[in-house]
Structure 1
């Protein structure tokens, strides 16, 4: 005896109704509507998997590029400077999650070359220590990051920043920073004067993130301290073994490191961006789930027509002793199987596309001569994809659930069929 024959009769009849026959044009039409429902669910599921995978990939790619420049945790001294940074770095490294620590200073400045003027964040670092907490040294396209020696007046620029200023390695530029105006010097309303200082471009880096490539510059730690009038670094930049533990590690370091310190992790530095991405992902899930819902509720019309077509058979089953609950089960099995089939096809298609976006998208771009991502707008020029099986499970579960809900009314209507009325004109 086959496995199918071991199933309850409701399942057997439901399976038979799912495989609609071709005995009449009416049955063919019902079968066609069922296929449309399957196709709609499949396309909705596949689209949702692909879109969420691309959004996951986009978030991961941008995060990785941001963290190639950002520190996992930054430690600041409330006094403005950290003269005992070596002792504080040693205290931070006692935490097993902290792999490296590097001192830094940071300020805002204006870079000037001829008639071009661009704002930038100026970060003073020790090149050998900075290489342990960020990947900037590996991202140097021209020149050398090691050229940032104390008192050298060398500067390393982001690639987009150097291009916008028309600068290359070896060129000179002027850096303007704000300095307090001395008594009698006038200055701005805030009592500040621009202080110029000449620097030589010693290197150009490219992080692959427009925010940093167009607005970040590095100088030596000593030159950075001189720019803002400090005799010590502003704080420490830390690299962790697990970047996702950064909030917890920051809380631990706050308690274990002495002094009046302020700590922030990488998720706080770009909190608005991460919140926006999560919000967009949730809204996209809701919007595309509605597409699945529309396709799933096509099952309602399919099952209603099936119920009307099978009234005589339902009446015979009732006279043979089938309960209204059993009749409901038959049509719920039919509708749920259609939804399950559409979900399985959609999951297979969506997973296949999500895993091959890096091949499919370039092919489409070459075929139609278009480019979907402008690097200056989206930070990256290629569409990334990261398939999360948790997303696939949620999408599949929602699709099957919607298909099941769509079966409730038609099944209830079938259970209410009265045998005498249904067989009166047969």
Structure 2
């Protein structure tokens, strides 16, 4: 009954009257501010989660979960090592590879490229790049065929299509009477892939493993062995376990090492955006302080009458805590609902804005992807809601405490 009395008074004060309509308007602005801050937090964190997930998925279409290589770039007697690695826990596939740098030339167009020698059958089990082929097939990279598969942006820069010829210039040169001459080999473009990441689409070229060994004078050696795990997140753990089992000149690296700067930057940006947007919610929540202080000042006579009727200071304090908390709850609920609605329809919003301004908001060359991915995580939404409610509750404490200290005699002296 005591709580019902306090709740009744607190909720009654939320309704505007003719003489305190301005105060109710300020309360409404506080609620709107909290809602906008909460919605912005949900949308931004969901986009950053989606961006990270999308880029990770596209990276793992090209980059293996784990690689074992040597410090000098040559891994002799690699077949027993590949078999031993394939027997490790959580390893589902293993594939040898050759990595080297080269120049590709066609019709006066020259581009630098990362040349990767692969065995198509093994490579398909390690990464999903074979499913990203726009034209041609990965299986065209058979030993002795001297075929080459290019990223779509690299093919566009060289102005070549499937069936065209490109010349690969390698840094390993031939000594001639005229001096050191670079080695040149002509390849036939047999496929074009699109991984969805500009970095790989513009620089990666794949050739048969045996042709790469011959071209780069590796004999039967390879650059390393690529592994696929049943869970990509276990790669750092398996790398640590392999550290004591590998030879002195061998090293293991996982996909997080290969892209550590990117993932570290994303995590830092996510934390900073969370802090900045939380401050926006805090500003909106603490607007309730000024609103409740104005309410307390306006209700001095009411508070004094309630005190003379027997209401305790704790009851007075609860009345204004309830009033401010209800505003915080309304703002939080509205913000969560609006944030989720906007997050799940962000693609349509982006498309509409692009139609209005007549330009693309995102460029794949700058942002790696050309759309706004969304990954709404329940933990993020819950954390945001709890923080908003706590900040709203904290904002009510000082005005409520000030109301509880009201002295009935002084408050009624000039009434």
Separation in 1, partners of 2:273, 2:113: 35
Q: TM-score, normalised by structure 2?
A: 0.94
Structure 1 residue ranges (4+ consecutive) displaced by more than 6 angstroms after TM superposition: none
Cross-structure match for 2:146 = 153
Unaligned segments of structure 1, at least 5 residues: 188-192
Q: Do residues 125 (structure 1) and 121 (structure 2) align?
A: no
Q: Do residues 400 (structure 1) and 389 (structure 2) align?
A: yes
Superposed, which structure 2 residues align to 1:3-402 within 5 Å?
A: 7=3, 9-18=5-14, 20-22=15-17, 24=18, 26-78=19-71, 80-179=73-172, 182=175, 186-187=179-180, 194-231=182-219, 232-256=221-245, 260-402=249-391
Contact 2:173 2:183 in 1 (8 A): no
Q: CA RMSD in A?
A: 2.0
For residue 8 of structure 1, report the CA deviation from its aligned partner. 5.3
For residue 76 of structure 1, report the CA deviation from its aligned partner. 0.8
For residue 354 of structure 1, report the CA deviation from its aligned partner. 1.0
Contact 1:123 1:216 in 2 (8 A): yes
Separation in 2, partners of 1:224, 1:62: 29
The 3-state SS of whatever aligns with 1:122 is: strand
Separation in 1, partners of 2:176, 2:109: 31
Separation in 2, partners of 1:180, 1:368: 52
Separation in 1, partners of 2:90, 2:108: 47
Cross-structure match for 1:421 = 410
More displaced 10-residue stretch of structure 1: 158-167 or 360-369 = 360-369
For residue 406 of structure 1, report the CA deviation from its aligned partner. 1.7
Closer, same or farther: CA 185–98 of 1 in aligned 2, 3 Å: farther
Describe the superposition over 1:39-80 as per-residue Cα deviations: whole angstroms up to 9, x where unpaired: 111111111111111111111111111110000001113464
Q: TM-score, normalised by structure 1?
A: 0.92
Separation in 1, partners of 2:316, 2:182: 84
For residue 356 of structure 1, report the CA deviation from its aligned partner. 2.1
Unaligned segments of structure 2, at least 5 residues: none
